[in-house]
Amino acid sequence: MHRIPRDHPRYESLMLRQKMVRGSERGLAVKEGLLAHGRGEAFDYLLGERTSSEAKAAARAAAALLLMAKRPVLSVNGNVASLVPGEMVRLATALPGSVIEVNLFHRTEARARAIAAELGSAARKLGVRQLLILSDRTDARLPGLSSDRAKCHRLGMFSADVVLVPLEDGDRAQALKRCGKKVVAIDLNPLSRTARAADVTIVDNVVRALPELIRQVGALRTASPRRLTEIAGSFDNRQNLGRALGRILRRLGRLSRERVPSDRSA
Ligand code: PTJ
Per-residue confidence (pLDDT) for residue 240, from 0 to 100: 98
Q: Kindly state if the Cβ of 73 falls inside 6 Å of ligand 1.
A: no
Ligand 1 nearest-atom number relative to CA 168: 11
Per-residue confidence (pLDDT) for residue 9, from 0 to 100: 81
Residue closest to 202 by CA, chosen among 239, 241, 250, 231 = 241
Taking a C-beta distance cutoff of 8 angstroms, is the pair 25, 118 a contact? no
Count of CB atoms situated within 10 Å of the CB of 66: 28
- Between the alpha carbon of residue 202 and those of residues 42, 79, 207, 247, the distances in Å are 16, 17, 12, 14
Per-residue confidence (pLDDT) for residue 47, from 0 to 100: 95
Per-residue confidence (pLDDT) for residue 3, from 0 to 100: 83
Give the residue, by CA position, lying nearest to ligand 1 atom 8.
33
pLDDT classification of 261: cutoffs 50, 70, 90: low
Per-residue confidence (pLDDT) for residue 248, from 0 to 100: 96
Question: Please, what's the largest Cα pairwise distance for the chain?
Answer: 59
DSSP state of 5: P
Pocket residue to mutate for ligand 1, from 13, 19, 152, 187, most atoms within 8 A of Cβ: 187
**Cα torsion for 196, 197, 200, 201, to the nearest 10°?**
-40
Residue 266 pLDDT > 70, yes or no? no
Average pLDDT over residues 100-114: 96
Q: 150: number of CA atoms within 13 Å, CB side?
A: 9
Give the residue, by CA position, lying nearest to ligand 1 atom 30.
40
DSSP state of 148: G
Per-residue confidence (pLDDT) for residue 170, from 0 to 100: 81
Per-residue confidence (pLDDT) for residue 168, from 0 to 100: 83
Distance in Å, CA 33 to ligand 1 centroid: 6
Q: Kindly state if the Cβ of 189 falls inside 6 Å of ligand 1.
A: yes
Q: Kindly state if the Cβ of 192 falls inside 6 Å of ligand 1.
A: yes
Taking a C-beta distance cutoff of 8 angstroms, is the pair 179, 152 a contact? no
Residue 258 pLDDT > 90, yes or no? no
Sign of CA dihedral 196, 197, 201, 206: negative
